Amino acid sequence: MRGALLVAGTHSDAGKSVVVAGICRWLVREGVKVAPFKAQNMALNSYVTGEGAEIGRAQAAQAAAARIEPEAAMNPVLLKPSAERETQVIVLGKPYATATARSYGAMKEELLPLVLDSLADLRRRFDVVVCEGAGSPAEINLRANDIANMGLARAANLPVVVVGDIDRGGLFASLYGTLALLSPEDQALIGGFLVNKFRGDPAVLEPGLRQMGGMTGRPFFGTLPHARGLSLLDGEDSLALDVPRSVKPPLGRDVLRIAVVRLGRISNFTDLDPLSHEPGVAVRFTESPEEVLEADLAVLPGTKATVDDLAALRASGLDRAILERSERGLPTLGICGGYQMMGGRIADGVESRKGEVPGLGLLPVETVFGEEKVLGRPGGQAILFGEAPVAGYEIRHGRVARSGGEPFLRTDGADEGCVAGETFGTSWHGVFESDAFRRAFLHRVAEVRGLDWSSGDEPFAVAREAQMDRLGDLVAENVDRDALLRLVEDGAPVGLPLVPPGGAGALEALVGRELRA
């Protein structure tokens, strides 16, 4: 089979990313060569491909679901908000520009051909490409120069499935309203709907599905049940931090409590996901100084705005909690931007452009920001943890130089990171996916805190792979697979009915008539 599909959603966090991953896993198990694609992603959770390109972390997870290596073409445009009204634009994995909302809008015209070339390249090399939309296709204020939703679908003639999150309520209104706000030309590509996160008896939902189908002339391809225990699938943005994280039963008497500072521009918070994989580890993202001080391990995570988030840390009093932890010898870890905050001088003429500012002074390191971003997939050994192998990835403008303490990691004869007492720092993301290192690090935390805690023995990669298979099962068992495959291969059916008012222009005209009346 050959074809492509765009999975859109009624709003952000409707489940588009997870649905795309599930479709990819289902198709690859059916022997289909499939690839994910997201034309434009806005996320601070990013990943470095083997070719040294930065893409959205969700697309890397979707590539894993498809059992292929992630690449730049899968996410040609990545937006990384760095200030309230400013965003770094990453194009084909490399920094391209810094833009405001208005200036980026004007930039889209030059980016659309590049987006279409990336999609066409994937379609030449794969049987099926499953595309993910961004936000909602009914954001009528952005439709004129859209490159991620219906603008992409129209330009590439893609059939579209709209996903609705029933768990939030208002499912039918959201789906109907999304369709009704689209122009007739856009509506012609909407082939049907998919319900996500359903709890309860499907028979209760069935009358609404039938009525909605009659009102729109479009089918429901399936109803995906609410699935628990999918915490190891990479969240795309900070909305994922609002979901409570389950704690596996401990193997010893005690639970390790880990407090992660919820920074304003927090990035790559998936660094902490492998910790939740261990039995008896409770990970909480928090803005409370008291929780940070009382935790067994505190983490200052990555950030896209090191200097600005450091200022916010000081304004909130969280800096005093981190400083007191160091004075009391309590385990504390900084990752990337959080590591930079823990050092001395920070010279930033790139992100914040505020020049030199003092760090927290907990580690003997200094950071100088460079225009060119460091992107890499390094590997090495954890010097203080039995030389346990560690692999990670780097995404940063800051160059960190150590002038004291001990190195944290060693790679190719060079040192990385810094350790002073029980305060640790590293520029590498993803280090806790390395099983031996993760367990050794947590055992040290437990020992320092005098806790009876034991690690598990299941590799993190095995657990994540099992969750990908669960997603594939959800699609295979709850979706009309034949109907979805027909949509992929044949495109949206001809002659789909128009749902009034049929677009922003028609809506404006309708409102105008009523006002005149």
416 touches 428 (CB < 8 A): yes
Q: Among the options 24, 277, 418, 429, which is catalytic? A: 429
The residue-averaged pLDDT of 223-239 equals 67
Higher pLDDT, 502 or 40: 40
> Tell me, what's the pLDDT at 236?
57
Higher pLDDT pick, 210 / 244: 210
3-class secondary structure, 103: helix
| The CATH number of domain 252-455, selected from 3.60.20.10, 3.40.50.880, 3.40.50.300, 3.30.360.10 | 3.40.50.880
Largest CA distance in the chain: 80
- Average of pLDDT values for 264-277? 93
pLDDT at position 208 over 60: yes
* pTM across the whole model: 0.90
Instruction: Please tell me the least confidently modeled range out of 43-52, 249-258, 501-510.
Output: 501-510
Contact 372, 431 (CB under 8 A): no
Catalytic, 397? Answer no
Domain pair 3-35+56-68+108-231+465-516 / 252-455, same fold: yes
3-state secondary structure of 197: strand
DSSP strand pairing (355-358 vs 345-348) = antiparallel
Structure tokens given for 371: 């225009």
Residue 503 is predicted with a pLDDT of 58
- pLDDT exceeds cutoff 90 at 240: no
User: Which runs of E-coded beta strand occur in 139-265?
Assistant: 160-165, 190-198, 220-225, 256-261
Sequence ranges of the domains in the chain: 3-35+56-68+108-231+465-516, 252-455
Amino acid at 177: G
pLDDT band at 250 (very low <50, low <70, confident <90, very high): very high
Q: Per-residue pLDDT tens for 163-194? A: 999 988 899 999 999 999 999 999 999 999 99
| Amino acid identity for residue 315 in this structure | A
Element (DSSP H or E) covering residue 488? helix 481-490
Q: Is the pLDDT of residue 469 over 70?
A: yes
Give the integer Cα–Cα distance in Å for 412 and 489: 49
pLDDT at 231: 56
Q: For 331-387, what is each residue's pLDDT tens digit?
A: 999 999 999 999 999 999 998 889 999 999 999 999 999 999 999 999 999 999 999
Tell me whether the omega of the peptide bond preceding residue 493 falls within 30 degrees of 0, making it cis.
no
- Please determine, for residue 238, whether its predicted confidence score (pLDDT) is greater than 70: no
Secondary structure, 3-state, 309-367: HHHHHHHHCHHHHHHHHHHCCCCEEEECHHHHHHCCEEEECCCCCCEEEECCCCCCEEE
What pLDDT does 513 receive? Answer: 45
pLDDT at 9 over 70: yes
Average pLDDT estimate for 27-41: 97
pLDDT value for 508: 47
pLDDT band for position 516 (cuts 50, 70, 90):
very low
Integer CA distances (angstroms), 252 to 343, 435, 452, 500, in order: 35, 19, 5, 61
- For residues 486 and 414, the model is more confident at 486
pLDDT tens digits along 134-169? 999 999 999 999 999 999 999 999 999 999 999 888
Active site residue 24: no
Question: How much is the pLDDT for 235?
Answer: 57
Q: What is the pLDDT of residue 246?
A: 85
Q: What's the CATH architecture for 3-35+56-68+108-231+465-516?
A: 3-Layer(aba) Sandwich (3.40)
Residue 232 confidence (pLDDT): 52
Question: What's the pLDDT score for residue 462?
Answer: 96
CA distance 105 to 428: 33
Query: Given pLDDT bands bounded at 50, 70 and 90, which one contains residue 101?
Result: confident
Average pLDDT for 416-442: 97
Q: What is the mean pLDDT of the segment spanning 272-289?
A: 96
Amino acid 175: pLDDT: 96
Report which DSSP code applies to 429: B
- Which has the higher per-residue pLDDT, 156 or 238? 156
Residue 274 near residue 433, CB atoms below 8 Å: yes
Q: Which two tokens stand for residue 11?
A: 């709003």
Q: What average pLDDT does this structure show over 80-91?
A: 86
**Nearest one of 118, 163, 213, 137 to 22, comparing CA atoms:** 163
Residue 11 contacts by C-beta under 8 Å, 6 or more apart in sequence?
A: 135, 136, 165, 174
The backbone torsions φ and ψ at residue 42, rounded to the nearest 5 degrees and listed phi first, read -110, 110
Backbone angles phi, psi at 196, to 5 degrees: -120, 150
Instruction: Provide the 3-class DSSP secondary structure of residue 394.
Output: strand
| Arithmetic mean of pLDDT, 110-136 | 97
Report the pLDDT averaged over residues 390-412: 95
What sections of 149-294 are H helices per DSSP? 150-156, 171-180, 184-187, 202-216, 273-277, 289-294
Mean pLDDT, residues 29-41: 97
**In the chain, what percentage of residues exceed pLDDT 90?**
83
pLDDT (mean) for 493-504: 85
pLDDT class for 300, splitting at 50, 70, 90? Answer: very high
What was the pLDDT predicted at 517? 43
Read off the tokens for 5: 């599909």
- What are the two backbone dihedrals, phi and then psi, of residue 141, each rounded to the nearest 5 degrees? -70, -15
Please state, in angstroms and rounded to a whole number, the distance separating the CA atoms of residues 273 and 246.
11
Q: Is the pLDDT of residue 241 over 70?
A: no
Q: Tell me which of 24, 131, 336, 418 is the catalytic residue.
A: 336
Identify the pLDDT of residue 512.
46
Whether the predicted pLDDT of 507 surpasses 50: no
